[in-house]
Amino acid sequence: MSLADLRNDYGRLTLDERDLDPDPIRQFDRWFAEALAADVAEANAMTLATASPEGRPSARIVLLRGCDARGFSFFTNHDSRKGRELDANPHAALVFYWRELERQVRVEGTVVLVPADESDAYFRSRPFGSRVGAWASAQSQVLSSREALESQFRAIEAKYSSGEVPRPVNWGGYCVVPETIEFWQGRPSRLHDRLRYRKISEGGWTVERLNP
């Protein structure tokens, strides 16, 4: 089978302007709840795209850890590639893909740091091994060997054997403050529904239908 033969013709659902919530965050919450109800695996997994100051893009999968009126939040090492790029160029794009519902959500906006107390609270909620791993890994840096990483993990694990692991100062949350949010619903013959919210004022949005 060739790559040209790998295609699906979508047709499960539709998306109409009359069905949209005026607030895109509430609309996202509705779709996210439907993704959970449909047993979408890791429905909070999203592609995060960042770019260097020179415009060179990079993308990876991260997990959504918060969604409220401010925007979409995730947590990571600030010294990682994405952290360094966001520090120099605080703009990002997110994509959620829920295959079971033939849906995508695309978000574009500016990025701000999550308050330290929120980063502290989320870090404390993580499993012990994940908290140790945040200390053990110099994320995105060249690593001499797997053994070196595991040795560092064991050393940190022993240091914090009491279970109380403080949050590293270079680890915390980011919030993508949306400027546009697009809801994409697969339709037959590639005539997909694409409805985009575009911010026009503080708290104000306009909805536009896009060609598929």
Distance CA 115, CA 174 (A): 9
What's the token pair of residue 188?
């037959």
Distance CA 39, CA 205 (A): 30
Q: Which helix (H) or strand (E) holds 108?
A: strand 103-113
Please indicate, yes or no, whether the overall pTM of this predicted structure exceeds 0.75.
yes
Please list the pLDDT of the chain residue by residue as tens digits (212 residues): 776 656 677 878 999 999 999 999 999 999 999 999 999 999 999 999 999 999 999 999 999 999 999 999 999 999 999 999 999 999 999 999 999 999 999 999 999 999 999 999 999 999 999 999 999 999 999 999 999 999 999 999 999 999 899 999 999 999 999 999 999 999 999 999 999 999 998 879 999 999 99
Q: Cβ distance 83 to 141 under 8 Å?
A: no
68: number of Cβ within 10 Å: 10
Q: Is 82 exposed, middle or buried (0-12, 13-18, 19+ CB in 10 A)?
A: buried
* Amino acid found at 153: F
Write the DSSP symbol of residue 32: H
Of residues 134, 132, 125, 120, the one with CA closest to residue 161: 132
Q: Which residues are identified as catalytic?
A: 190
Distance CA 184, CA 181 (A): 10
